[in-house]
Amino acid sequence: MINKLKFWKTSKEDSALEDRILALKELPIPKHIAIIMDGNGRWAKKRALPRIAGHHEGMKRVRRITRFASKLGIEVLTLYAFSTENWKRPKNEVEYLMKLPGEFLGTFLPELMEENVRVKMMGYKDKLPDHTQNAVEKAIRDTEHNNGLILNFALNYGSRDEIVRAVKNIIHDVKNGKINEKAITEDNFSEYLMTQDLRDPDLLIRTSGEIRLSNFMLWQLAYTEFFFSDVLWPDFSEEHLIEAIEVYQQRSRRYGGLKGEGEEE
């Protein structure tokens, strides 16, 4: 009797989730979602576990949310996996974090291929350990012909440094006659950023109750809708992603204009 009741409850919950998904698709879905995945350490601490246990659990959450984002028809999912400031963390934690891409992509790659997901990375590869670089480059290479969801990892990424490097590259190109300084616009400035072939995020999600950007996509988030959740990343579920999108769909994106002007079609 207990098993039947549990099955009925699960089936009812699944049905309710499918109804919410159908309702979501009646309205514009954000094409590019960026997530600051925060709270792995606090998740572990609450359970008297080492911090690396939280990172391991967070990695499994990436897998679930990626699959679900693909199901929803989201075009780009950018995940803030490791910032340029994260090198300041304890050595053993950093070493574990550098092993995660290999572990994650090694086990998840066949499923990414099946889901038609394309892996990309933005950040500075040259400072990553060889085993981390190799794992990421293999995933990028193996999925380069897929044309479904783009899973974009921000790995060893910092937005201020990205912008400074963009300015330096523009100065270099101006000096070498590749671009006229009078012709520099917001659009061609964006071409010097790591997201040059991606649209700007429509929705930013940050978990764990923190309300800051932490040097993440400062240029690209100029007109992005923000959603801050108190849920720790390892507990962030498909229902929480739906909630974030539902809130996004209730907002009016005016891009500095009046209501009705510049909104998504």
Catalytic residues: 38, 86
Chain mean position to CA 97? 17
For residue 54, give every residue at least 6 positions away whose Cβ sits within 8 Å of its Cβ, in sequence order, or none.
39, 40, 41, 42, 43, 44, 45, 234
Pick the closest to residue 228 from 247, 249, 195, 206 (CA basis): 206
In this structure, the number of other CB atoms found within 10 A of the CB of residue 173 comes to 16
For residue 118, give every residue at least 6 positions away whose Cβ sits within 8 Å of its Cβ, in sequence order, or none.
143, 144, 146, 147, 148, 149, 150, 151
